[in-house]
Every structure is written in structure tokens, then in C-alpha cells.
Amino acid sequence: MKKKVVVTDIKGNYKKLIPTVIDESPKWAFSFEYFNQIKYFGLDRSERKWFVSLIDRLKNLATIDRNTLFNDKNTKEFFRFHQINWTSTNIPIKRKELAWVNKIYLSNEIEYPFYQFQLSKANGRIVGFWNENYTVFFIVLLDPLHNLQPSKKFDYAVDDCYPLSCEYTSMHTDIHNIIAKKSNCENCNIKSEISKIPTKLNKTNAIIGFLDDSFLKEYETLLEKMSLSEILELGILAATQEN
């Protein structure tokens, strides 16, 4: 079914536009609103190419007709699409432990059952549930090691994995741990100063960038001899002189 788009301005007055249509076929989208990493469902052991597989699979799934997904046997088997069996042998988590999910959904297992899709046979599963009208799939867990439904083939083994932190959250945790440590140095004010972070008083020029693997090795070698600021300044001077 096709539907014309009606557009109004901020006062609610109708605006005449070139006719446009929206395809209302039963496709669907994904939301990370209730996504979380926990033990057994972390990404610390996932390589970069795994994340590419995840994005490709989400893109592919978003083009699948929902009716086909639920009703076509071959499609369901291809994506390993099925409800989570919370009584599976050696399953490392219970549904009620997913406490970060809105209680309206979490406490209503009949109307909001959890499902899984496979990324591929080797790359694990996407776990979550559908919204009220089955147009959005809320991703709750990513399961790269197949821990949510342990396999009899591998003696129902569950493999350890943990949440993967970005550099910012890792640094935040490091600072928090330093502050929490007891200090025997009464006259040392370093810990006191660290506890004030972030001061929000510093105005500095920050640059965020990425290096290829080959440059990263060179950078790490240089970092043993000089600071990051000195490396950047030398690079900028060299580039300026070339021009």
C-alpha cells in the first residue's frame, strides 16, 4: 500500500510539495534502546570483522518481510529465528535478570517473548524482542559465543566473555579505581587532584583520529621518545614545509 506524505509547517498549515510516497510494506527496524553487555554476553573477544558481520546482518534482516520471517519455514531456518527457551540446559541467565529492560516488556513473557537471529553459523546470535506492532526489534543482548542456547553438540559448554569498553569508559574506570585506593601518603595531593576530574576548567585543543596498523607501530615506537603533542607538532611542521 502506498501513502501520500502530508507536510505542515510549525503552525500546522498545509505545505504543498512535490508528491511523494511511502512504501508501507511490512518491513521492520532495529533499536538498541535496551542493549547491554554483561558476563557471557560481552564483546571483548570479538574481532573487528565480527562487527562488520553484525551490521551486514542487520541491514539484510531489515529488508525481510515480517510475514515471511514468521511464516516461511526456509526463511526461519536460514536465520535460525526462534523464541528463546529459558529452560535450556546450562543456560547462564534468566529472563528476569535482564533488569535494564522496561518492566512493561520484561514482566510480560506471553506478549513479548524473546527471539534470536543468527549472524552466521560461526558468529553467534542477536537476541531481543518485538515492540507492540512488530515493526521494531529491540536488541537486548549480542551473543557471539552462542551462550544463550548452549549446544548439546559441545556438551552444553558456556564460554567466558566480558563487556568491551571504549577507551573513554576504560579511562573512567581506571581513574575511579585509583581514587578508591587507600593512600599512606598524607602530604601527597595527587589523589586529591585526581578526585576532582573532570574539572571542566581546562580549555584545550583536542584532536581525535585513527591510524592504520602500519602507522600505529611507528607511533608506538616514537611515543617511547617523545609526547603525543610533540609527534603531532613535528608532523604538522613537516607537512607545512612540503607545501
Task: Give the domain ranges of the chain.
Answer: 27-154, 166-182+190-197
Q: What is the pLDDT of residues 114-139, one digit of tens each?
A: 999 998 777 899 999 999 988 899 99
Q: What is the secondary structure of 229-243 as a DSSP string?
A: HHHHHHHHHHHHHH-
The predicted pLDDT at position 42 comes to 92
pLDDT tens digit string along 58-105? 999 988 888 888 989 999 999 999 999 999 899 999 999 999 999 999
Report the amino acid identity of residue 48.
R
Residue 211 in grid coordinates: 591510524
* Confidence at residue 11, expressed as pLDDT on a 0 to 100 scale: 54
What is the pLDDT, as a whole number, of residue 20? 46
Res 15 pLDDT > 60: no
Q: Per the confidence metrics, is the pTM higher than 0.85?
A: no
Asked whether the predicted pLDDT for residue 195 surpasses 80, the reply is no
Separation between Cα atoms, residue 144 and residue 136, nearest integer Å? 22
CB 150 within 8 A of CB 44: no
Higher pLDDT, 95 or 206: 95
Higher pLDDT among residues 209 and 71, named by residue: 71
Confidence of residue 16 (pLDDT cuts 50, 70, 90): very low
Residue 148 to residue 174: CA distance in whole angstroms: 30
How confident is the model over 214-241, as a mean pLDDT?
83
Per-residue pLDDT, 169: 67
Please name the residues in contact with 38: beta carbons below 8 A apart, sequence gap of 6 or more: 93, 141, 163
CA–CA distance, 159 with 124 (Å, rounded to integer): 12
Which of 81, 101, 92 lies closest to 36, judged by CA?
A: 101
Beta-ladder partners of 138: 31, 129
pLDDT of residue 1: 46
- Measure Cα distances from 21 to 5, 56, 68, 224 in Å: 6, 27, 24, 59
Q: Which of 107-116, 121-130, 149-158, 193-202 has the lowest mean pLDDT?
A: 193-202
| Residue 199 CB-density burial (10 A; 0-12 exposed, 13-18 middle, 19+ buried) | exposed
